[in-house]
Amino acid sequence: MGYRGRVEDRERARQLRAEAWTLQQIAAELQASRGQVSVWVRDVAFTPAARSRARRRGPNSLQRRKQDEIERLHAIGVARIGELSRKQVLVAGTALYAGEGSKTDGSVRFANSDPRMILFFVTWLRAFFPVDEARLRVNLYLHEGLDLDAANLFWSDLTAIPIGQFTTPYRAIPDSTLRSNKHPMGCPSVVYSCSRTHRSIMGLVDALLSFPGFNPG
């Protein structure tokens, strides 16, 4: 199974755990080992489901319409994008870096808490530039109280960057005035210190942002 499949399984496992599924039930559902599921959901609060003969209420009509629309528009979006050519992937990655990447000369740096964004970036970087794997680094921002080992394992597995190449993480001090829905795996920055690569990327960004327009026809 590729990285994308593992990310989707992790997210599904975490959702099911939050819904009070047992590790064994999740493992059976996702055809994964109980040990792997345990790592994926280690930091998800688990409250055993209360036994009750009462029938669970299903979604109301408004909720069903909302879900139907989400699924329909998702399918339309997938169909509209379709298969991307190599050049289209190059442009997509350039746009992603233009919005989220560092513009400081000499350092390729991309930070995001969404595993799909991080996966896309590292795949794009390796596909279009000669990368010295030993020089890749991950800087992790993680709140105190969250499982650092689990977060390191998660991002290392996703990016194929060894944990030994992770820098000392920044551990944010809990603050009751901040939002409570902290990202359980933190926010990583993938860093590649290479002036030539960074300047090549910025050349692509400049070309993209200097484009005079497009014909929507």
Phi, psi of 216 (to 5 degrees): -70, -5
| Strand 187-193 relative to strand 107-111, pairing | antiparallel
How does residue 200 score in pLDDT terms, banded at 50, 70 and 90?
very high
Residues 104 and 205 reside in one and the same domain:
yes
Residue 217 has pLDDT above 60, yes or no: no
* Element spanning 143, H or E: strand 136-143
Residues 99 and 198 reside in one and the same domain:
yes
Alpha-carbon distance of 112 to 121, in angstroms, equals 10
Residues 96 and 187 reside in one and the same domain:
yes
- 1 vs 183: which has the higher pLDDT: 183
The domain in which residue 32 lies consists of: 1-44
- Count how many residues are written for the chain: 217
Residue 86 has pLDDT above 80, yes or no: yes
Q: What is the mean pLDDT of the chain?
A: 85
| pLDDT tens string 8-32 | 888 888 888 888 888 888 888 888 8
How does residue 55 score in pLDDT terms, banded at 50, 70 and 90?
low
Alpha-carbon distance of 54 to 169, in angstroms, equals 47
Report the CATH number at residue 20: 1.10.10
Residues 96 and 184 reside in one and the same domain:
yes
Considering the domain boundaries, does residue 70 fall inside one? Answer: no
How does residue 137 score in pLDDT terms, banded at 50, 70 and 90?
very high
| pLDDT tens string 154-189 | 999 999 999 999 999 987 776 555 444 457 788 999
Report the CATH number at residue 128: 3.30.1330
Considering the domain boundaries, does residue 63 fall inside one? Answer: no
Residues paired with residue 139 on neighbouring β-strands, in sequence order: 189
How does residue 39 score in pLDDT terms, banded at 50, 70 and 90?
confident
Count of structural domains within the chain: 2
How does residue 36 score in pLDDT terms, banded at 50, 70 and 90?
confident
User: How high is the pLDDT of residue 97?
Assistant: 97
